[in-house]
């Protein structure tokens, strides 16, 4: 196992530049935000590192040039405003409102998409409540995970074309809207719809990053605490695909679901350690805490030491017990997983269930359910169901 990384001061000020704007982002308690926080912190210029920028032919080059001269850097699209979710004060779901904002245009390396669906993550309601902050001022938009159709390209983009279906992470945390800008992105696998794709990006990145940090490989026995949420479900399946044995901790109602993902299920609460011991008498090689339910001491016992345990949900516990806390900004991101998961999806070896969908106008209800927890899979907003808006020049 690798030596635990030295954690950076959570009050570090991060400076980034995009399209002529100098943005100062204060990372205050961001260590509890995971992928969605990482996406906001990595808001920067330059081509997407998610997929190689392969030249896709003369037709697409022509489309790129058309957009660069008449879209992103020229005449505006037909619509001049977009509907977006926003909050102007911290509080409960009732502070969310749908407002009209100026339509965004992509900078270098970015694409703009017509958002068809947007995932709902725990990060969003934590930001809405003011529990965590990047130092951003009110009002704030919301939403990270998105899926939709490319309708405008920034300078230097050659990996996708206008009309391509893509999924990824909204650069400015404004994915719960009719239009969004993406740097971290990938083409949606052919068999996947927009709603299912919108539930993937942050869960997929976080799961991949943590499995890499735990050195999960063929023959590893991995224990996942909180195995039925988005990140947990992704971690279970990706670990199984790597050839690992996975024991998943979840409630009694989700035991069958965990078996369907390839995990051996145990229930949380009293007796959890004994259940795991019954399956793995010698303990486990590694343990991943996704739930943040105060079980780090038990995971340390089962994994044979804190060096074999990692959490994405219990920062205070990680400090108390000497457990690594995975933070993509500090440790490096795994957005490459967006482009790599397609093979598993097409082979029927990876999926994240969508528990419920909501129209954009009901984002408050989606936040309420997310905040209450115990969601199997993902919650997704359905934003655009009709045809994509047409460029004024096209």
**What tokens appear for 174 in the block?**
């404004």
The average pLDDT across 73-96 equals 81
Confidence band of 340 (pLDDT split at 50, 70, 90): very high
Percent of the chain at pLDDT exceeding 90: 69
Tokens encoding 330: 């500090």
Is residue 215 scored above 80 in pLDDT?
yes
Residues 6+ apart with CB under 8 A from 386: none
Q: How far apart are CA 103 and CA 82, in angstroms?
A: 5
* Chain segment 93-135, per-residue pLDDT in tens: 999 999 999 999 999 999 999 999 999 988 899 899 998 776 7
pLDDT of residue 36: 54
Of the two residues 75 and 251, the one the predictor is more confident about is 251
Mean pLDDT of 211-225: 98
Range name among 164-178, 235-249, 319-333, 342-356 with the lowest pLDDT average: 319-333
> Count of CB atoms within 10 A of residue 158's CB?
16
Question: Which of the residue ranges 33-42, 51-60, 234-243 would you say has the lowest mean pLDDT?
Answer: 51-60
pLDDT at 9 over 70: no
Closest CA to 314 of 329, 331, 293, 332: 293
CA distance 196 to 145: 11
Q: What is the 3-state secondary structure (H, E, C) of the chain?
A: CCCCCCCCCCCCEEEEEECCEEEEEECECHHHCHHHHHHHHCCCCCCCCCCCCCCCCHHHHHHHHHHHHHHHCCCCCCCCEEEEEEECCCCCHHHEEEEEEECCCCCCCCEEEEEEEEEECHHHHHHHHCCCECCCCCCEECCCEEEEEEEEECCCCCCCCCCCEEEEEECCCCCCECEEEEEEEEECCCCCCHHHHHCCHHHHHHHHHHHHHCCCCCCCEEEEECCCEHHHHHHHHHHHHCCCEEEEEECHHHHHHHHHHCCEEEECCCCHHHHHHHHCCCCCCEEEECCCCCCHHHHHHHHCCHHHEEECCCHHHHHHHCCEECCHHHHCCCCCHHHHCHHHHHCCCCCCCEEEEEEHHHHHHHHHHHHHCCCCEEEEEECCCCCCCCCCCC
**Mean of the per-residue pLDDT values of the chain:** 82
Strand 111-120 relative to strand 378-382: parallel, antiparallel, unpaired?
antiparallel
What average pLDDT does this structure show over 228-253? 96
pLDDT band at 79 (very low <50, low <70, confident <90, very high): low
The pLDDT tens digits for 10-40 are 332 233 333 332 232 233 333 344 565 555 5
pLDDT at 388 over 50: no
- Closest of 131, 129, 84, 166 to residue 335, by C-alpha: 166
Burial of 3 (0-12, 13-18, 19+ CB in 10 A): exposed
pLDDT value, residue 34: 55
Give me the residues paired with residue 241 across strands.
Answer: none
Q: Rounded mean pLDDT of 62-71?
A: 38
Write down the pLDDT at residue 392.
Answer: 33
Domains in the chain and their CATH numbers?
Answer: 13-200+354-382 (3.90.180.10), 203-331 (3.40.50.720)
Residue 296's pLDDT is what? 98
- Report the 10 Å Cβ neighbour count for 265: 23
Residues 352-367 have a mean pLDDT of 95
Q: Spell 41-72 as b/e; 16+ CB within 10 A means b.
A: bbbebebbebbeeeeeeeebeebbebbbebbb
Is pLDDT of 167 > 90?
yes
Model confidence pLDDT, tens digit, residues 275-315:
999 999 999 999 999 999 899 999 999 999 999 999 999 99
pTM for the whole structure: 0.80
Residue 4 has a pLDDT of 41
Per-residue model confidence (pLDDT) at position 39: 54
What's the confidence (pLDDT) of residue 393? 32
For the stretch 132-155, pLDDT in tens is: 776 778 999 999 999 999 999 999
- What's the mean pLDDT in 265-271? 95
């Amino acid at each position: 196992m690798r030596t635990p990384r030295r954690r950076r001061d959570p009050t570090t000020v991060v400076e980034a530049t995009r399209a002529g704007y100098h943005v100062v982002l204060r990372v205050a308690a961001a260590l509890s935000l995971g992928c969605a926080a990482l996406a906001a912190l990595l808001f920067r210029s330059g081509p997407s590192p998610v997929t190689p920028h392969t030249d896709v032919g003369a037709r697409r080059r022509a489309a790129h040039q058309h957009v660069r001269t008449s879209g992103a850097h020229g005449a505006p699209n037909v619509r001049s405003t977009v509907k977006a979710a926003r909050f102007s004060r911290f509080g409960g779901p009732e502070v969310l409102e749908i407002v009209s904002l100026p339509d965004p245009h992509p900078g270098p390396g970015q694409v703009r998409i017509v958002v068809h669906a947007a995932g709902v993550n725990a990060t969003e309601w934590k930001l809405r409540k003011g529990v965590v902050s990047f130092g951003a001022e009110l009002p704030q938009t919301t939403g990270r995970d998105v899926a939709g159709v490319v309708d405008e390209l920034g300078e230097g983009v050659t990996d996708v074309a206008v009309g391509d279906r893509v999924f990824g992470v909204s650069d400015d945390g404004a994915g719960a809207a009719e239009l969004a800008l993406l740097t971290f992105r990938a083409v949606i696998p052919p068999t996947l719809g927009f709603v299912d794709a919108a539930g993937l990006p942050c869960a997929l990145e976080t799961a991949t990053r943590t499995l890499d940090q735990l050195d999960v490989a063929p023959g590893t026995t991995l224990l996942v605490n909180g195995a039925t949420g988005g990140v947990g479900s992704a971690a279970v399946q990706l670990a199984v695909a790597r050839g690992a044995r996975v024991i998943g901790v979840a409630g009694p109602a989700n035991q069958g679901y965990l078996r369907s993902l390839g995990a051996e299920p145990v229930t949380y609460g009293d007796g959890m350690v004994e259940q795991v011991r019954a399956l793995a008498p010698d303990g486990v090689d590694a343990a991943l805490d996704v739930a943040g339910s105060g079980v780090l001491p038990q995971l340390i016992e089962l994994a044979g030491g804190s060096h074999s345990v990692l959490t994405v949900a219990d920062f205070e516990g990680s400090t108390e017990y000497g457990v690594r806390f995975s933070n993509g900004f500090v440790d490096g991101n795994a957005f490459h997983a967006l482009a790599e998961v397609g093979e598993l999806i097409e082979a029927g070896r990876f999926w994240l269930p969508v528990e419920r969908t909501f129209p954009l106008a009901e984002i408050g209800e989606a936040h309420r359910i997310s905040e209450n927890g115990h969601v199997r899979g993902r919650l997704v907003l359905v934003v655009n169901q009709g045809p994509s808006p047409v460029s004024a020049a096209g």
